[in-house]
Chain A
């Protein structure tokens, strides 16, 4: 049976400073430091196990005493948060890797929490800038001028799954799922083509993919990335690092993006997908699909026949429905899995009949309605700067400017749930252990990483607690243990360390 599809999302956000020097690296550092320092200050104020702490120092705007530097060699800012996420500067962008979770619904909860963390960060960072200056963060994947940055997904897979089979069978989904999880883009960023050659396309990212399979992530990007860094027991696991997706503003789109991919991966792992949905030319196809909002053009399959992206998606859905009957959906969370199947069918039905009927689920449809409505109202031609501005501002995370928030998108997570998840880890994975320990024993943890925590409890040498099993260290396993341990030393004693 397929392994539980433990998963996560890492998002590189767009960042600009307005009204002051626009250096994205220092702005990203400022943003993260402001958040870490302010949340630390607030915790001290409400007196959470900080009685022996030294008086708060006014200049501590940038103190990192609550955050832990992961063991990654970099001079850039790096913090691990009490919700188990990592918040850091990567390639001149602020990036949040959410904690490991087990279901698509949990993905949405902690992805929404990440958005709220960015919003808080903007709020805390602004007073540290010159008067009138502000840091503006977008949850998008392209600046419209040929520069792209990613929203990556990660999925746990069995090591024994042959990578060749995985890569060839997952490609059809990666090329065609953009019909429901594309975030939409005004214009075109294909090298050598005029930007206004395409008025509107489904995906932010499709223009940037040049290879079928490869290790690169910043140039010659491949549809299937071969990075082999499991952050878990390498004998048992691999991590599929997915770089092909867009960052979604729609919760349902994020839910479907991850939920459908989990199911397709489970089918591949169980040898149930087969080789009849292989594509002839995936790199050409991913662009063709993105450049065709009518959803009517066909792409070539490897057997020489042609199909629309929707037909490929129907093929995958039918196989997934059969898989649910024969294997169940325990690997993706049974209830969530069945809901994903139902919504998958609904979104394909809607896209086929009239994409506008799923404008409350699908980002590119929601965005296109705004762009086309605005163009019609003001008599603007395709390519007008104002239409590009609408595209950009759809992703603006400032609450008073965000157009996605006003586009009538359906939500599946309560706002309180997302706020809670800013500081609390998911109970279902090792992220629970990481987050709870960082919350309760911050002074005694000297390093945190995806697969270990290192404690300094005084007289003894540093103690490393390995976490090579993503599904150990859950609330079920360690909640009582942590509740009962006043100090890290007690915890380690109880763990037999």
Chain B
């Protein structure tokens, strides 16, 4: 189950019209592609994607799951949207509540284990390996964790474990963290047990809204076997403008440890049809990623140009991420910025994100534009 329903308010303009997991990333991906590809590569056959806010772009992107090979006879992606039940319609208020609302879908799959994921992280992980550890430990819950720098630990849910990696204590965003094992928001539960815990809580007053705040503490309180699964690769939460920009900049270097060129663990996305990209006589491109449909007549440095981006002459783009379909006019300077989908940046505009990452929203037009067409 991929939780793709967060509002993503910290991404500001970029999530006004689309859900966070559908935000473009890395030139030809959307954020959720990494999680969906992990599912496909881990041999998971049934994926439910729980959506809530602005789901149109996300639904369109995921479609029937064919882009990830999840449209087979025994597999499928189901998009789960809030709907009014006989008890009245209700949007979900937390991660656990989202799962509770979709019990009917999960029951239909009748799984032994349920993997709960969030749709807004950039990483490659073999969930099958995590499941093996879960089974080996005979755990009722396994939480994937990653070591974060100690000084950042207070931003995360921190797991304190014993020598066998069993979780003894959970601290949500502790002021004085005891260690640096941060929860990645990835959980494996034994389904029947989680199901009855959720049903029980919702039949009473102490409703469990959130995995971190409610479910994990409750499991620990009842002495359940809760273990960590240690993950050591690249992992990035892209929930803020700064982290989204930073993750894109890290993504450019082909030697980075996410290794998207590894043919054994491909990152799939919905492919769009665009002709090859063209670099003109005037173009200069250094340390950058460019994909299909782009037209480049300017100078590009340490930047990503997504599908169908146009950069006209005399323009310089540095340390920036340009989303699909954006048109950048002549003699523009863009430095440390994110330019939204189908945005238009008029001639002679300067966007300088030296102080704070510059953001142009989706379909936003800035600067004077001269209509050449």
| Co-complex (A, B) | no
List chain A positions with a Cβ less than 8 A from chain B.
none
List chain B positions with a Cβ less than 8 A from chain A.
none
